[in-house]
Structure 1
Amino acid sequence: MRTIRFAPSLLMAALLAAGMPAMAQQAQKVAPEQLSNQWILLNRDVSVDVPNSGVNIYKPSCIAVTYTIGSDGVPMNVQVAKMVPKSDLGKAAVSAVSNFRYGPSLTNKNHMPVATYYVVPFNSPDDPAQRAQLMAPCKLSGYSQT
């Protein structure tokens, strides 16, 4: 009789446990400008392997890379989402973002994962206005500004 009484609760616990990975993957989308409310980038520089030759690798360009910051502060599911102009620098951009490491902000004490993106500039001008103009085409929509 006791086993029957606990069976529904055990079944419910098993169903909840099975659904946890799916729920964990439903990370809130956060705009890069608002990321510091959840996660703070810890490393100041990263090593990136850039090819010596390839299509448009010496042209000024931007590559938008999407990713999810896991509860451990490590980027996962890193993918190129947009590249202007098309080039052979996608792997370099993914490599850069994959090496980012984050720490939780004071408002993210539970280390909640978030989805975001980063625009990697290549061969960008030093002038801030020209740099902003270069990176503007790689801005992605659908990420919360709050």
Structure 2
Amino acid sequence: MIRISSRTGAIAAAVLLLAAGTAQAQNLRRVAPERLTGYWYLTNKSVSPDVPNTGKNLNQPTCVAVSYMIGSDGRTQNARIEKVEPQGDLGQVGVSIVNQLVYVKGNQNGTAVPVQTYYVTGFNLPEDPAAKATILAKCKLPGYDQTS
């Protein structure tokens, strides 16, 4: 019989849970942000993100893309920085925002099936709509169902 210490067992359990979470995220329907309302409606009226006082490119026009899962309870899970353009320290602000989002199921989601999606936010964006759209477009992520 092989004995496993409680610490080793805990580490093994954590690795298995991480692998299961990763596998679950890979099997989820990937929904583009502009198509999300068929599956989930955002209920937040506001969020209070954690913003750093100092860091790289905090005053530059920036977009941040954060991927995440919306669980069957409407809560966000597994928030991950996917892109920060230009590179800087605002990615964690995007994660802070996503971690506060709460959803209710939409009309195409009768059984509250979890989905994988992403959120793009901008910082220090110009007033000009075309310039703003150009910056935000840099954070659009491939691989999400843009048409269904």
Q: TM-score, normalised by structure 1?
A: 0.81
Match of 1:43 in 2: 44
> Quick check: 1:106 aligned with 2:107?
yes
Which range moves more in the overlay, 42-51 or 22-31?
Answer: 22-31
Separation in 1, partners of 2:126, 2:110:
38
Name the SS for the 2:138 alignment partner. helix
Match of 2:8 in 1: none
Match of 1:11 in 2: none
Separation in 2, partners of 1:126, 1:35:
26
Separation in 1, partners of 2:46, 2:90:
18
Q: Which runs of 5+ in 2 are unaligned?
A: 1-19
Separation in 1, partners of 2:24, 2:109:
15
Deviation at 1:95, TM superposition (A): 0.4
Deviation at 1:122, TM superposition (A): 0.8
Name the SS for the 1:138 alignment partner. coil
Separation in 2, partners of 1:126, 1:70:
35
Match of 2:62 in 1: 61
Separation in 1, partners of 2:89, 2:24:
33
Q: TM-score, normalised by structure 2?
A: 0.80
Separation in 2, partners of 1:57, 1:129:
22
> Quick check: 1:135 aligned with 2:136?
yes
Q: What count of residue pairs does the alignment treat as equivalent?
A: 126
Deviation at 1:44, TM superposition (A): 1.9
1:139 maps to amino acid: K
